[in-house]
Chain A
Amino acid sequence: MDFAFSAEQDALRTTARRYLTDRLPLSRVAELADSDAGWDVASWPELTALGWLDEELGPVDHAVVFEEAGYSLYPGPLFASLALARPAGYRGAEPATLAFADPGRPATLAGTAETTCRAERYGEGWRLTGRKTFVPDLLGAAHAVVLAAAEEGPGCWLVDLRAGGATLRPLSTRDRTRRLGELILSGTPATPVVPAAETARVFADVRRAARAALACEAVGVAQRCLDLALDHARNRKQFGRPIGSYQAIAHRLADVYTSVALARSLAYWASWCVAERDAAADSAAAAAGAAASDAAVLAAEAAVQTFGGAGFTWDSPLHRFYRRAQWIAAFDGGPRNQRAGIAAMLLD
C-alpha cells in the first residue's frame, strides 16, 4: 500500500501550478470568463507543450492535472477533451468534447439506448441527424464524439465541428468558464468511432473517467476556496482581532478542511482504481464524485461567508469557483445519482 505520488507526478504538479499561476492568474480567468470566447485559445498549444495531452498519461497523472486545473479554475476544454472525448474513442490533439445528452431526456451518461439522434449510412460514410444538448465546452472544441443510434443500435460517431455541417448554439451557462452548448445535426457527415457492441462498455469507461476527473477538479476548487478563506481569516481584523481567532469562523473552516481531506483521499483512490481497472472502480468513482462535489460546494459557500460583503461581490473570484462547484455537482445526475449507484451495489 502506497498512497504517494511519484517524483514525476510531483514535478507535473509543480509545473502545472507555476504555469497556471503565471499564465492564467485569477484576474485573467475573470477577464476570459467575461469574454465572448470564454477561454484563451492560445493556451491549448501551451498545455500540449507541457505534456498534459500526452497519450501516455494515465488517470493518476490526470488526477494531478485536474486538481491543479480546478485550483486555478482553468477555463478551456481540458475536462471535455481528456475525460469525455478521449475515453469515448477520440484520438486527436485538438480540443474535443462528447455530445451524449438529448433534449427531454435525463442528461446522464447512462441512457445510451434512449438517444433520439439518428445515424445513417450514406455511400461509404455516415450522416447524423438530431439534436444534442448540454454539451460541455462545445464552442471551444474542434471535434465532438456524438452518441447516436443506427439500425445496429447506439454507437458513437466523430463530427468535425469546423467543417460546417453542424450548427453550434451556445447555451447561456451559469459557469462562464465551462459553457454548455447545443449541437444541431442535419445529415452531418460523421466517422464511426464506437460500434454498437462496445457502447455500453465505453460509456461505463467514460463515466468512471469523468467522475474521477471531476472529483480531482472539485478537490482543487475546494482547496482554493479554503486557502482564500484562510488567508482572509488570518488577516482581516474586527473587534481588534483577526476574525480567524473566533471559533464561529475557525470551526466552520475546520469542517471544510475535514471534508476536503476525505474527498482528496477518495479522489486519489478513485483515480488509481480507474487506472488499474480495479473491481472497485465504479464504486470508488461514484464515492469520490459525490464527496468531492459536496466538499467543493461546502468550501465555496464557507469562503463567501468568511469574506462577508467582499465575498458577495462580482469582483471577488469566489463566485466563479462557486459556479464551477455547482457545475460539477450537476453533471451526470450529480451526487444523488452517484449515491443511488452505491446504494444499488450495497443493497440490491
Chain B
Amino acid sequence: MDFRDSPEEAVFRADLRAWLAVNLPADWSDRQPNVGRYDVAFAREWTAMLHAGGWTGLSWPVKYGGRGLPLTYQGIYLEECARADAPDHIGPIGLAMAGPTILTVGTPAQKQRHLPKILTGEEIFCQGFSEPESGSDLASLRTRAERDGEDFVVNGQKIWSSYAEIADWCILLTRSEPTSSRHSGLTYLLLDMTSPGVEVRPLRQMTGDPEFNEIFFTDVRVPAANVLGAVGGGWQVAMTTLLHERGTLGFALTVILEKLLNRLIATARTVQLDGRCPAADPLMRDRIAGLWIDLQGLRYTNYRALSALLRTGAPGPEGSAAKLHWSEANQRLTSLAIEMMGAGGLLDGTDAWWGGFWSYAQLRSRGNTIEAGTSEILRTIIAERVLDLPRSR
C-alpha cells in the first residue's frame, strides 16, 4: 500500500500542473456568461488546447491517438484538473462511453475512424438508449432498425440525450429483429447525426436550460459497417458501455464534487446578504465536514477500485456504489449551499451570489439520482450483483 506518486507519476503531475498554470485562463469560470453552466464555445477551444498539449486519451492506445499510459494517469489528470478548477473536455460521452466500447468490440476500421477524433473533439457523441416508454427498463426499447441491402433503416424515438444538439455521432441501441423481445434481437449502431431523417428537439430541464433532447429517427439509413459488435448482440455491447460509464466515471464525478466543495467553503466564509457568516455556525460546520468526508471516501474508493481494475483489467460493478453515493452527496452539498445563504438563497441571476451559481447547481443536482442509472436501479444492481441477493423479479 502506497499512496505516493511513483517518480514517473510525479513528473507527469508536475508537467500537467505547470501546463495548466500557463494555459488555463485564471478567471475562465468567472468570465462565463452563465456561471456554472456548460459553455460550448469555450469547451471546444479548451479541448483543442488539451489535445495539442497531449492530455487527452492518456490510457488509450498510442495507435489511436492516445498515450498508452496506465489508468492511474487518468486519475492524476482529473485530480489536477479539479485542483486548477479546469473545464471539461467537450466529449464526455465519447471519452467515457462510446470510446471504451469501440475499443472493446469495434472493428479495426471503426477504431481508426472514430477514436482519434473523439480525443481531438472533432467527433462529439451523444447516447441514444432511453425511449419515452423505456427508461430504467432499457430492454423494452422499440426503436426499429430494419436491414435493407447494405444499410439498416432506423425509425423511432430516443429521449434524455445530452449533447445531441451538438453531437456528430450517436451510440444508438435499436431492435433489429421485429419479433424479438427483451435482451435478444438488439443491435448497437454508430449513427451519423447529419444523416437525413434525424431530428433533434431540445427539452428544457427544471433549471430552465435545454441540456438534453429528444431525437426522432425517420427512415434514417445507417451503413451495416456502422454496426458495433454483432447484429442481434446489442445488449451485450450496451452493457459494456454502461459498465464503463459507471466504472471509470467515478473519478470524473469526484472531481465535480471537489470543485463544488471548494465553492461551498468559499461561500461559507463569505458574509451573506443577511449579514451572517455560515462558517461561524456549528451546525453548518458539521455538515461541511461531513461532505468533505464523503468526498474523501469517494476519492479513496475510486483508488481502491482502480487498484482492483489494474489487476483484473475490467471495471467491477462496485462503480454503481460510487455513483449512487456521489449523486446523493452532490444533492446534500448543493442544498446546503442554498440553506447557508439564508434569504440570499431565494435569489437567482444577477442579484444572487456568483450570478446564481448555486441556484442552478442545486436544481441540476436533482437529475443526478436519475441520470446514468436511477438510484433505485443502482441499489438493485448492488443488491443482486455485488451482494448476491435473490433477484427481485
- Interface residues in B298-338 by Cβ distance below 8 A to A read 298, 300-301, 303-304, 306-307, 311, 318, 321, 324-325
Taking the nearest CB of chain A, how far is it from the CB of B336, in angstroms? 13
Does any Cβ of A come within 8 Å of B75's Cβ? yes
Taking the nearest CB of chain A, how far is it from the CB of B256, in angstroms? 17
Most chain A CB atoms below 10 A, which of B294, B301, B318, B389: B389
Contact B380 A1 (CB under 8 A): no
- Interface residues in A1-39 by Cβ distance below 8 A to B read 1-6, 9
Closest Cβ neighbor of B382 among chain A residues: A254
- Interface residues in B1-29 by Cβ distance below 8 A to A read 1-6, 9
Does any Cβ of B come within 8 Å of A57's Cβ? no
Bound CA–CA A230/B288 (angstroms): 33
Main secondary structure of the interface of B (DSSP, over half): helix
We find that the number of chain A residues with CB closer than 8 angstroms to chain B is 51
Bound CA–CA A234/B1 (angstroms): 34
We find that the number of chain B residues with CB closer than 8 angstroms to chain A is 50
Q: From B268, B290, B304, B387, give the contact of A257 (CB < 8 A).
A: B387
Using Cβ atoms and an 8 Å threshold, which residues of chain B touch A290?
289-290, 293
Does any Cβ of B come within 8 Å of A214's Cβ? no
Contact A287 B296 (CB under 8 A): yes
Q: From B4, B5, B383, give the contact of A251 (CB < 8 A).
A: B383
Taking the nearest CB of chain A, how far is it from the CB of B115, in angstroms? 26
**Knowing A254-B379, A347-B269 touch, does A262 contact B325 (C-beta < 8 A)?**
yes
Contact B380 A250 (CB under 8 A): yes
Contact A234 B293 (CB under 8 A): no
Taking the nearest CB of chain B, how far is it from the CB of A116, in angstroms? 28
Q: From A272, A340, A348, give the contact of B3 (CB < 8 A).
A: A272
**Knowing A254-B387, A262-B297 touch, does A340 contact B303 (C-beta < 8 A)?**
no
Among A83-91, A96-104, A179-187, A241-249, the one that faces the other chain is: A241-249
Which of B's residues lie within 8 Å of A, judged by CB?
A: 1-6, 9, 72, 75, 265, 268-269, 279, 282, 285-286, 288-290, 292-294, 296-298, 300-301, 303-304, 306-307, 311, 318, 321, 324-325, 376, 378-380, 382-384, 386-392
Which of A's residues lie within 8 Å of B, judged by CB?
A: 1-6, 9, 60, 230, 233-234, 241-242, 244-247, 249-251, 253-255, 257-258, 261-266, 268-269, 272-273, 278, 283-284, 287, 290-291, 336, 338-343, 346-348
Could you name 13 residue pairs across A and B whose Cβ atoms are closer than 8 Å?
A1-B2, A4-B307, A5-B1, A250-B384, A250-B389, A253-B387, A253-B389, A254-B324, A254-B382, A254-B387, A257-B321, A265-B301, A266-B296
